[in-house]
């Protein structure tokens, strides 16, 4: 490799000794130093960074320390790896396009313990907010209050509803859910059906049943933060595989399975929280074929497939997935989160382990709630409600997409969901979502930072836009506010503004 020359002032800053007595890790110090040199134009777009060994020698640190710093700046979109020439500073035309994946959702190749979302410091908007893009559920005005009221009054008369329900579920609810799932092409023959208190509990049960001590779970990157919590509290280590416009990048799966021998893969094939993206048909087929070949268990989280703007996608647990897919169904977004009834459909060999895990967590699902759900599903108003809800969500998405296209600066990008109520917005390169959200919240716009959904806290320049609890007027006003914060030069919260003093100008 040709020797690179760095201008003397730059070399002095780049190779200046790190602070060994402070609280900041050496790799974080180095990443921050490089960010600042880039932000000040001292390292220019297209410049190559020093080779790992050279920089390690100059700074008297390990190669691993430099590698971690380079990885951090790569994740932030500030540098791009080159297969033979090392790392170079990103150019404006190095697009961080969602469909390319690695720019924003990189393969986390070593299993890591998920950080707890409860520790995240997320600024909250007041109840009088202008727009709530932070609520990932349909607004209460979209919930089927009449349907639930009818179902409740049909259920409450029976005093038996005040007793404990059987472990696997009440017969009336099992019958209604079985019918409902069959109509939606979920493969049930020979399967075990277990009712739970919602998908959060389903996931905890499955994790407890399948995860060995110190075991690994594969997830999408980014993924639902509650799932990361469930895995973290069960002691799982997580390997996260990138998602792009066509859903999980299945190409990275075989390697991850062979290297980490995971207990299972957790995936949301339809309108994923937080990106709104879905697994395309080709990747579905590829995923199922790979799972069968590699003996990989797929845990499918179906919480929103019915909220498709056009035709709902089929479940992974169709005829081709019977032997490899454990299907979790939630009714929280279709009817109401307060109901707390969900279901697990699993290949029969998992039945007793799942029952045992449920018994150890909480053997009972409210009999009353099960009966209410059964009456809701049997009510002719249910289908009407779901179609109306999906139609309204499509209407809100169209309003959001239109407002984003009209108002956002050119370097802001977002996903295009085909259903559900989540989209993912990538801020301009170098922008800090935490700072951006602090500013939007002050102006009355609630958002959730992207790093909440990433096992390693990456995706720090992205936010989730949830639009199910926001009216069209609120959407338009909210986008206007976000765009004015991003568009105003003074307010673009670039990293260079965070620590401007650390490098001599
Ligand atoms: C990805 C995902 N799965 C499932 C659910 C529903 O979980 P539960 O049935 O426990 O309410 C949610 C709710 O936010 C979700 O985001």
Q: State the pLDDT at residue 494.
A: 44
Residues 6+ apart with CB under 8 A from 419: 270, 271, 276, 278, 304, 305, 307, 308, 309, 310, 312, 390, 393, 394
User: Is the Cβ atom of 199 under 6 angstroms away from ligand 1?
Assistant: yes
Partner residues linked to 424 by β-bridges: 464
User: Is the Cβ atom of 268 under 6 angstroms away from ligand 1?
Assistant: yes
Q: Which atom of ligand 1 is nearest to the CA of 202?
A: 10
Q: Residue 504: is its pLDDT beyond 60?
A: no
Q: Residue 490: is its pLDDT beyond 60?
A: no
CB 278 within 8 A of CB 304: no
* Interval 191-235: pLDDT, tens: 999 999 999 999 999 999 999 998 999 999 999 999 999 999 999
Bigger pLDDT: 413 vs 79: 413
Helix (H) or strand (E) run with residue 283 in it: helix 281-294
Q: State the pLDDT at residue 99.
A: 32
CA of 420 to the centre of ligand 1 (A): 12
CB 236 within 8 A of CB 217: yes
Q: State the pLDDT at residue 232.
A: 93
Q: State the pLDDT at residue 398.
A: 97
User: Is the Cβ atom of 269 under 6 angstroms away from ligand 1?
Assistant: no
Distance CA 199, CA 331 (A): 9
* Interval 434-471: pLDDT, tens: 889 999 999 999 999 998 998 877 777 899 999 999 99
* Interval 350-403: pLDDT, tens: 999 999 999 999 999 999 999 999 999 999 999 999 999 999 999 999 999 999
Give, in order, the Cα–Cα distances in Å from 38 to each of 178, 410, 411, 430.
58, 21, 18, 10
Q: State the pLDDT at residue 93.
A: 56
Percent of the chain beyond pLDDT 70? 91
**In 211-271, alpha helices (H):** 225-233, 253-260
CA of 275 to the centre of ligand 1 (A): 14
CB 296 within 8 A of CB 257: yes
User: Is the Cβ atom of 136 under 6 angstroms away from ligand 1?
Assistant: yes
Q: State the pLDDT at residue 503.
A: 27
pLDDT confidence tier of residue 111, bands split at 50, 70 and 90? confident
Distance CA 59, CA 266 (A): 41
CA of 455 to the centre of ligand 1 (A): 18
Q: Which atom of ligand 1 is nearest to the CA of 342?
A: 9
Average pLDDT over residues 319-345: 97
CB 86 within 8 A of CB 400: no
Give, in order, the Cα–Cα distances in Å from 390 to each of 43, 140, 305, 343.
49, 15, 10, 22
The SS3 of residue 274 is: coil
Q: State the pLDDT at residue 3.
A: 60
Rounded to the nearest 10°, the torsion over CA 397, 494, 29, 63 is 60
* Interval 237-282: pLDDT, tens: 999 998 989 999 998 899 899 989 999 999 999 999 999 999 999 9
CA of 230 to the centre of ligand 1 (A): 12
CA of 483 to the centre of ligand 1 (A): 30
User: Is the Cβ atom of 65 under 6 angstroms away from ligand 1?
Assistant: no
CA of 497 to the centre of ligand 1 (A): 37
> Would you say how long the chain is, in residues?
505
**Residue 95, both tokens:** 């697009």
Q: State the pLDDT at residue 44.
A: 87
User: Is the Cβ atom of 421 under 6 angstroms away from ligand 1?
Assistant: no
List strands edge to edge, sheet with 422-426.
Answer: 413-414, 422-426, 462-466, 448-449
- For residue 428, the number of C-alpha atoms closer than 13 Å in the C-beta half-sphere is 19
Average pLDDT over residues 165-189: 95
pLDDT confidence tier of residue 139, bands split at 50, 70 and 90? very high
Which amino acid residue places its CA nearest to atom 12 of ligand 1? Answer: 303
Q: Which atom of ligand 1 is nearest to the CA of 301?
A: 3
Q: State the pLDDT at residue 76.
A: 66
How many CB atoms sit inside 10 A of residue 405's CB?
A: 10
User: Is the Cβ atom of 275 under 6 angstroms away from ligand 1?
Assistant: no
Best of 143, 226, 334, 361 to mutate for ligand 1, by most ligand atoms within 8 A of CB?
Answer: 226
User: Is the Cβ atom of 337 under 6 angstroms away from ligand 1?
Assistant: yes
User: Is the Cβ atom of 303 under 6 angstroms away from ligand 1?
Assistant: yes
CA of 290 to the centre of ligand 1 (A): 26
Residues 6+ apart with CB under 8 A from 146: 381
DSSP letter (8 states) at residue 420: S
Which amino acid residue places its CA nearest to atom 3 of ligand 1? Answer: 303
Which phi and psi angles does 31 have, rounded to 5°?
A: -60, -45
Percent of the chain beyond pLDDT 90? 66
Average pLDDT over residues 59-63: 92
Q: State the pLDDT at residue 97.
A: 37
User: Is the Cβ atom of 332 under 6 angstroms away from ligand 1?
Assistant: yes
User: Is the Cβ atom of 301 under 6 angstroms away from ligand 1?
Assistant: yes
**Residue 315, both tokens:** 């479940």
Average pLDDT over residues 415-430: 93
**Residue 354, both tokens:** 């799942």
pLDDT confidence tier of residue 39, bands split at 50, 70 and 90? confident
User: Is the Cβ atom of 273 under 6 angstroms away from ligand 1?
Assistant: yes
CA of 2 to the centre of ligand 1 (A): 53
How many CB atoms sit inside 10 A of residue 1's CB?
A: 8
Q: State the pLDDT at residue 103.
A: 38
Q: State the pLDDT at residue 75.
A: 66
Q: State the pLDDT at residue 362.
A: 93
What is the distance in angstroms between the CA of the first residue and the CA of the last residue of the chain? 31
pLDDT confidence tier of residue 497, bands split at 50, 70 and 90? very low
Q: Is 153 exposed, middle or buried (0-12, 13-18, 19+ CB in 10 A)?
A: exposed
Rounded to the nearest integer, the mean pLDDT of the chain is 88
């Amino acid at each position: 490799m040709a020797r690179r020359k760095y201008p003397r002032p730059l070399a002095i800053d780049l190779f200046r000794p790190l602070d060994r007595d402070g609280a900041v890790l050496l790799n974080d110090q180095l990443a921050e130093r490089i960010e600042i040199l880039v932000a000040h134009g001292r390292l220019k777009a297209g410049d190559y960074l020093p080779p790992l060994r050279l920089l390690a020698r100059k700074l008297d640190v390990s190669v691993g320390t430099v590698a971690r710093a380079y990885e951090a700046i790569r994740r932030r979109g500030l540098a791009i790896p080159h297969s033979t020439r090392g790392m170079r500073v990103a150019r404006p035309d190095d697009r961080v396009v969602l469909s390319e994946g690695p720019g924003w959702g990189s393969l986390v190749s070593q299993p890591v313990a998920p950080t707890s979302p409860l520790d995240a410091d997320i600024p909250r908007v007041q109840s009088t907010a202008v727009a709530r893009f932070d609520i990932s559920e349909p607004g209460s005005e979209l919930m089927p209050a009449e349907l639930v009221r009818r179902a409740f009054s049909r259920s409450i008369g029976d005093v038996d509803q005040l007793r404990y329900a059987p472990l696997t579920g009440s017969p009336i609810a099992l019958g209604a859910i079985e019918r409902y799932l069959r109509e939606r092409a979920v493969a049930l023959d020979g399967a075990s059906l277990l009712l739970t208190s919602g998908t959060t509990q389903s996931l905890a049960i499955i994790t407890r049943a399948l995860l060995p001590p110190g075991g690994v779970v594969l997830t999408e990157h980014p993924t639902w933060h509650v799932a990361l919590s469930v895995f973290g509290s069960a002691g799982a280590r997580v390997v996260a595989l990138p998602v792009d416009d066509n859903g999980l990048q299945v190409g990275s799966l075989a390697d991850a399975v062979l290297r980490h021998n995971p207990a299972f893969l957790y995936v949301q094939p339809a309108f994923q929280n937080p990106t709104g993206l879905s697994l395309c048909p080709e990747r579905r087929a590829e995923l199922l074929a790979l799972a069968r070949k590699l003996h990989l268990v797929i845990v499918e989280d179906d919480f929103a497939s019915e909220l498709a703007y056009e035709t709902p996608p089929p479940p992974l647990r169709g005829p081709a997935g019977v032997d490899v897919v454990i299907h979790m169904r939630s009714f929280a977004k279709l009817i109401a989160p307060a109901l707390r009834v969900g279901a697990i459909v699993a290949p029969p060999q998992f039945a007793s382990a799942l029952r045992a895990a449920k018994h150890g967590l909480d053997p009972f699902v409210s009999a009353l709630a099960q009966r209410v759900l059964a009456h809701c599903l049997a009510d002719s108003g249910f289908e009407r409600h779901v179609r109306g809800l999906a139609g309204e969500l499509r209407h809100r998405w169209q309003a959001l997409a239109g407002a984003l296209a009209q108002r956002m600066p050119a370097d802001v990008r977002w996903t295009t969901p085909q259903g559900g109520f989540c989209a993912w917005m990538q801020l301009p390169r170098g922008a800090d979502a935490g700072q951006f959200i602090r500013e939007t919240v002050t102006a009355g716009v609630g958002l959730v930072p992207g790093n909440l959904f990433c096992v390693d806290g990456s995706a720090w320049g992205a936010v989730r836009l949830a639009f199910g609890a926001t009216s069209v007027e609120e959407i338009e006003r909210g986008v206007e506010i976000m765009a004015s914060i991003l568009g105003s030069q003074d307010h673009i919260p670039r990293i260079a503004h965070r620590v401007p003093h650390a490098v001599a100008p």
